Each structure stands twice: as C-alpha cells, then as structure tokens.
Structure 1
Amino acid sequence: MSSAPVFECEAAVFGKGVGESILVKLSINEWMIVDSCMDGNNQPAALSFLKSNGIDVETDVKLIMISHFHDDHIRGLSETIEQCKSAIVVISAALNTNEFEKYINALSINGQEMAKTKEINKIMALLPSLDAEDRIKYAKRDCLLYRSGSNIEVHALSPCDRDITKSKLDFVNSLKVASNSREVASAAGRLVNPNHYCIVTRIMSPTSQNNEILLGADLETSKQEGWEAVCEAVNSPKNKKTGLFKLPHHGSKTGYHARTWDELIKLNPVSVLTTYDNSSLPRCDMINIYKNLSSTVYCASKPKDLIETQKDKGKFAEALDITKKMGSTVKAIHNNSQYGYIYFNKCLTNQMTAETFLAATIL
C-alpha cells in the first residue's frame, strides 16, 4: 500500500532594509508566522500577505513565533497576535523570567529607548490572556513546537539550557549596573545581547528524505552556546537534509559557524537572508562566502554594500538636471523602496522553486 503524498510546504521571507518576517505554510489551512516587519504600506508583512491572498488569519494561522525581541523582528507582532486568534504564540524560554520583564521595564524608562520596547511591552500585555487560553509555548533546544495535519513538524533547536541559565544572570547583572548609572536604559542595553537567546527552527517531515528548512534567526557563534549548542541538539538535522537555510543575523560574521555548514547543511543549499541597513549587513566579504557555499543566495532587499555609491547617485542627479535644462518631459524614477520578499514552493523536496518580488534580489 502506497503512503500518502508528502505536503511539500511553502515559505516566504519578507524584509525591508531593517526588518524581517517569515511565513511558512505547514498544511492546506495551517500557517506559521516567525517574527514581524512592516511592508511597503506599513502593515505587518505576513499578515497583509495572507489577507491579500484570501487566507482567514483568525483561523488558519496556527503558530506565531517570536525568535527574539530585537525591534527589527517584532514590529507589528502585537497586532498579528491579536488578529490570529487561533495561533499558539512561541517565545524563547530564555525570556520566560521575571528578570527579563524587569529588564524591559528598565529599558522603557528612557524615552529614547521607548521606541525599541514599545512593541514588546504590547506583546507582554497580551501574555496573561494568552496564558489563560493556553496559547503560549516556551521554546528550548530539542522541543517539538507543532505538528501539522500534513505531518510537518516544527522543532526548536535553541536556546540550550546553558543559554537559558546565562540569560537570567545577564538580565540580573544588567539591572545591577543600571541601578548605579544615571543612564539606566543605556547601561542595561549594553550588557545583554538578545541574539544569544534566539529560537533556531527546524521545519521537516518525518516522511520526507529530500529536504528541510532551517531558520537561523539572529543566533550567533559562541563556545558551548549559540550555534555550537545547535549542532549538539538531538533533533538537529545531522544527516544534512537542510536545503533551505535562512542565514542567521543578516549574514554577518557573528552568525557564521563552519561546523553548522559541515554537519547540518546540504552541499550547495539555497540560502536566504534579510538586510540590516543600520549596520550595513550583510557586507561584501560575507556575501562572497555565502555565495561560495550556496547554489543561490536570495535577499529580501539589496545590501547597502552593493547599492550604488554616492558618486553614482550624483551622476543620477546630474542626468536629471541635464534633462530638465533640455526641456525634456521624460520622467526618471529612482526606486529607493527596500521592501521585498522571496516566495519558495515545494520546500521539502529537491524540486524547490523560488520567485522574487519587489526589492528582493539574487546576490
């Protein structure tokens, strides 16, 4: 008797220069949203995409994951949670502490920092009602987060126990230093790197031997922690099934881990990332490394290192001036929009396809 066909899975990666969100279709009427950013109309990208495609977000979004609490990963998440009334909300176990709540409160004291914590405060205000509805799950290494009706599984590969313990100490120490500082929020913010407590996610099907998805969030390399601990996870794809890799930390050096590529990633996978323009990530040196490791590297928007130079911009302005002086009616359009996305089909097979939209590009 033949087995039932494997649901091939679909995924989209959204970015806006500063911002990242991921959408995964786990079954016919089951979707997962990882993090949030705003689209070109200043709406939560994944939410807007689903609605525009006729998806009932109230019933069909089953899982919302907050990989970590950096501002570029959470914009619009409170609205997303409120509208997706059937979704389980997943938060890193490293952030399920009183110390973390006090840390966020300390950051919020400073008006300058308030913009960075406003969204997470909104999310935290939703937690009591979510808890009452049994809609919160705390992720840690080797935790099964969800199994869809099509037998697709979502596993957390981080944070490890060591990272969870360390997070409590980090938050406590940051507040001790902050209590002796006039700049409370700045002192607290300098001591804790939330990237260490990210949720790395493995999406796979036990019935498929062809391909998997690995979402790297912003996890960084660290001895006995971070990516090193992911490689030690019982549920990590050690037989190198990962063929679609969402590169960690916007393609930065801090997210590159040779052992991960050697042990968990297929040869010549498809890689995808978003930019972080505030720090000019990814940079050309790492772009070249990832291109050499991958069959294709997709990016939701063009990295700043590859965008035209100021000299080129000056030439563009000069050309416009010349056409005006000539009395030409021709209008030149200089597209500065950084919002784009990549849509992947058949993600759990060797026949995966991808299409870029708006500012998204192949590097």
Structure 2
Amino acid sequence: MRLNEKQNISRKQLPGNNDYLAPEQDEIEVSLFGPGYGESVLLHIGYNQWVIVDSCIEPVSEFPAPISYLRRINVDPAIAVKQIIATHWHDDHVRGLAEAFKECKSAEFVCSVAQTTKEFFTLVAVYGARSMIESTGVKEFSEILEILRNRGTKNKFISPKFAVEGRCLWQRNTKPGDQSQPCAIYALSPSDASVLLAQIGLSKLIPQVGETKKRVPSLGPNHSSVVLLVTIGQDSILLGADLEETGNSNTGWMAIINSGTRPKEKASFFKIPHHGSVTADNPQVWSLMLRSKPISSLTPFATGKVFLPTKDDVVRICNNTDKAFATSIPKHPKSRSRPKMVEKQLKEMRIKLRSVYCSPGQVRARGRYIDEKINWTVQLLGGAIELKDIYH
C-alpha cells in the first residue's frame, strides 16, 4: 500500500523549528520517539494538556526528545505538561527522565508501585546520583526524588503517585463546554502478583556487605512495567510499555485480560510492547482490547546479537494491522576501538557501553473525536518507517 492511500499517512523529514505546528486545541496527539536511547511517548489530551510517558535522549542534543519537541512547537513544558509517567526503571526507558521532570515544573510524577518497595529504595540509596557505578535507571529515580524534595516545603511533602492495576491516574475533560469528552488515564498493571515478583527480583540486586558493587542489570521478565489505557469518550489509546507475557494468569498480559476492573473501551492506537518482541505478544490483546486494524507503533532495539523486531515479529504484527509503524530501522552502530587500559577498567567495573544508532524518528498520530471514535492522521518524521518496509 502506498503512502496516503486509505491510511491517511504522510511522510516528511524533521523540519526546522519554524515549520512545526502544535496540534489544534481540540486535537488528540500521540507521538512515539525513538530510539535515541530508549523510547518516549508524548500525549496531547486536548486544550494544551500534555502527558509524557518515559524518556529518551536525542543523539545530537543529548536532551530529552519530548521536551525538545514541545519547544519546537512552541509549547511551554513548565506549564503544559500535567504528568510524567515512568512505566519502569530500566535504563532504556528513563534516560533523561529527571531532566524532563526538572523542565516540567507543574507536572505530577507517576511510577510503578513496585518502585515503593524497601528493596527499590535500597537500590536508589546504593546506586544513587553520587555512586561511581553508573546505573542510569536507578540514578534517574534518585534525581527525581531529590527534585520532589526540593519542590516540597516543611509542611508539604510531595510524593510520586504510584501506578498499580486498576488505578485511575488522571481524569479531565478533553475541552471545556458541553461538547467535551471525558478523558482518563488508567494503569492496567502491575498486578499484585507482579509487584511481589518484582520485589523478589529487586532483592537479588542489592549487594551484600563487603561485596563489590556491580552495574544493576535489567530484570526479565519485566514484572513492574506499567501498561496505560487512555480513554477518550468511547475510544482509547493502549500504551504497552515493556510488559511481557509470562504464561501465568496472574501476571503479565494475561492478568490484564482477566481483570474485572479493566475499562472495556477498545483502543484505536496501540504502542506495541517490548519493541515488538514475541515475548510480549498475546493474541487476545488484539481481539479483546483493540479495535480492528488499530494504528500501531513501536521503537526498534539492537544490541549484541539481538535485533527487535525480528522479521517474524514484523509478519505477525502486520497480520493484525496494516497500519503499523516503527520509529526507525533496527541496526547496530559501528564498533569503536578504545585503549586497552580503558577496556580493562570498563571490564573490571562490569560496565558495558552501547552506542546509539542513527536515524531516530517520530511516529505522530493526530485526530479528533468524532462519532464515538478518533479519526487519526499519521505522520512519519525523521527515520520513521512503515513496519512492513523495515527489512526491505
């Protein structure tokens, strides 16, 4: 299918600041950025109300992509961003999150309830901002907690809002007046069982007395990840974060599907989880939680011998929808040679450096709520591409 045929898609390269226009007041926007380092979702709910989900860094500016974009379209993040949501603490989803939160002075900070455990706060204390062993995810949370402390007063402690299955995180109308549609953001995960498993996993990462500190690895499967459902009238937006399928009815995607408290509005936009990997796929999500052929997008991932999505992943996703997009093509960066002494020190400290690959992009969907659904228009910016063309 050609661009602009049936799908209402346009492709353009990233323009200069003066060429970017903000959405209209009554327009909904979902923008997916990546893979600078990780991924980020930016939502416009309407009437200059914005929400940032996760963060990634632009390779050139080394600044959070959603903040750069907001400035490019002349939106002040200090006023317009109402919430910043961290779906989980893994490095590739929170790089630059503290910087983004610093810029969004009136935003509420939301994170997984799994980040309230004693084990996670112990990790923050051990691997916080002053640690010589860099662990980006924990370091970002340490800095965010410090920002919250500074924003509070002696008589007013500002706490993060914690996301857990079934909790409404935010609720407003899309616009003022009689024609407004109710809008809400719900956390669909983690489940109680997932929080317990995340707690057990975190306890294993805390170094014992006398043990050398090591870089904190990402845990898998990702039990603490926060899946979000944004409901707008009778339509919705499903943001899959990095939640994986576990084969257990009380955790992962099956826990969401089996939930009796889950809002039943089917989504017309789907942020595909875990870079399109089969480990995060559950066919019932497509049949029970999504409208037919939803707009779907993902960020690619490439490290070591791992390329996501794989060719099989692309075929599987495209069999479910012909409106699937990726922010870039997955490819490895060229390796860089370093002095032997530097390589030795990195090895001793168990630090692995990963370069960012080129051509980060943005999948941007905008639409208005008409006749009980959002009529989307998709733009592919920078290195973004239709998913079916990713391996061509």
* Residue 8 of structure 2: aligned partner: none
In the alignment, which residue of structure 2 is the partner of 1:88?
Answer: 108
Residue correspondences, number: 322
1:1-363 equivalences in 2 (<5 Å) = 7-16=26-35, 18-39=37-58, 40-106=60-126, 111=132, 113-115=134-136, 117-129=138-150, 132=156, 134=158, 136-150=160-174, 151-175=182-206, 178-179=207-208, 182-185=211-214, 189=217, 192-193=219-220, 195-205=222-232, 208-209=233-234, 211-222=235-246, 223=248, 224-238=250-264, 241-278=266-303, 279-304=306-331, 337-346=358-367, 349-363=373-387
Q: Is the 8 A contact 1:251 1:282 kept in 2?
A: yes
SS of the residue corresponding to residue 197 of structure 1 reads coil
Show the counterpart of 1:324: none
Q: Given that residues 107 and 189 in structure 1 are in contact (C-alpha distance below 8 angstroms), is that contact kept between their aligned partners in structure 2?
A: no
How far, CA to CA, are the matches of 1:346 and 1:236 in structure 2? 24
Q: Which residue of 2 aligns with 1:332?
A: none
Higher helix share: 1
User: Residue 142 and residue 116 in structure 1: after superposition, are their counterparts in 2 closer, same or farther (change >3 A)?
Assistant: closer
SS in structure 1 of the partner of residue 316 of structure 2: helix
Partner secondary structure for residue 362 of structure 2 = strand
2:9 aligned residue: none
Q: Distance in 2 between matches of 1:260 and 1:58?
A: 36
8 Å contact from structure 2 (residues 95, 136) kept in 1: no
Deviation at 1:107, TM superposition (A): 5.1
Provide the C-alpha distance between the structure 1 equivalents of 2:368 and 2:227, rounded to a whole number of angstroms. Answer: 18
Whole-angstrom distance in 2 between the partners of 1:227 and 1:78:
29
Instruction: Extract unaligned runs of 5+ from structure 1.
Output: 1-5, 308-335
Cα deviation, 1:160-202, whole Å, max 9, x if unaligned, reads 1111222222222443xx428955425x637x43721011000
Letter in 1 for 2:56: C
The one-letter amino acid of 1:124's match is L
In the aligned structure 2, how far is the partner of 1:285 from the partner of 1:91?
Answer: 32
Structure exhibiting the larger radius of gyration computed from Cα positions: 1
Q: Is the Cα contact below 8 Å between 2:54 and 2:94 reproduced in 1?
A: yes
Matched residues in 1 for 2:119 and 2:359: separation? Answer: 36
Q: Cα offset for 1:7?
A: 4.7
Q: Deviations over 1:245-293 (max 9, x none)?
A: 1000111121111222221112221110001122311111111100111
Tell me how far 1:98 sits from its aligned partner.
1.9
Aligned counterparts of 1:130 and 1:234: Cα–Cα separation in 2: 38
Q: Does structure 2 conserve the Cα–Cα contact (< 8 Å) formed by 1:212 and 1:347?
A: no
* One-letter amino acid of the structure 2 residue matched with residue 185 of structure 1: K
CA distance in 1, matches of 2:238, 2:197: 24
Counterpart AA for 2:85:
M
Shift of 1:105: 4.2
What is the distance in 2 between the residues matched to 1:297 and 1:276?
A: 16
Aligned partner of residue 148 in structure 1, secondary structure: strand
Residue by residue over 1:129-185, the C-alpha shift from the partner in whole angstroms, topping out at 9 and shown as x without a partner, is: 45645462101111111112423111110111111222222222443xx42895542
Percent of residue pairs identical? 31
Letter in 2 for 1:170: G
Give the Cα–Cα distance (whole angstroms) in 2 for the partners of residues 341 and 52 of structure 1: 14
1:18–1:72 Cα contact (<8 Å) kept = yes
Q: Distance in 1 between matches of 2:184 and 2:368?
A: 13
Letter of the aligned partner of 1:32 in structure 2? V
TM-score by length of 2: 0.75
For 1:99, give the aligned amino acid.
Answer: E
The answer as to whether partners of 2:188 and 2:228 remain within 8 angstroms in 1 is: yes
Q: Could you say if the C-alpha distance between residues 189 and 104 of structure 1 is closer, same or farther in structure 2, counting changes exceeding 3 Å?
A: farther
Following the alignment from structure 1 to structure 2, what is the Cα–Cα distance between the partners of residues 298 and 235?
30
Q: Deviations over 1:296-339 (max 9, x none)?
A: 1111111239x9xxxxxxxxxxxxxxxxxxxxxxxxxxxx7321
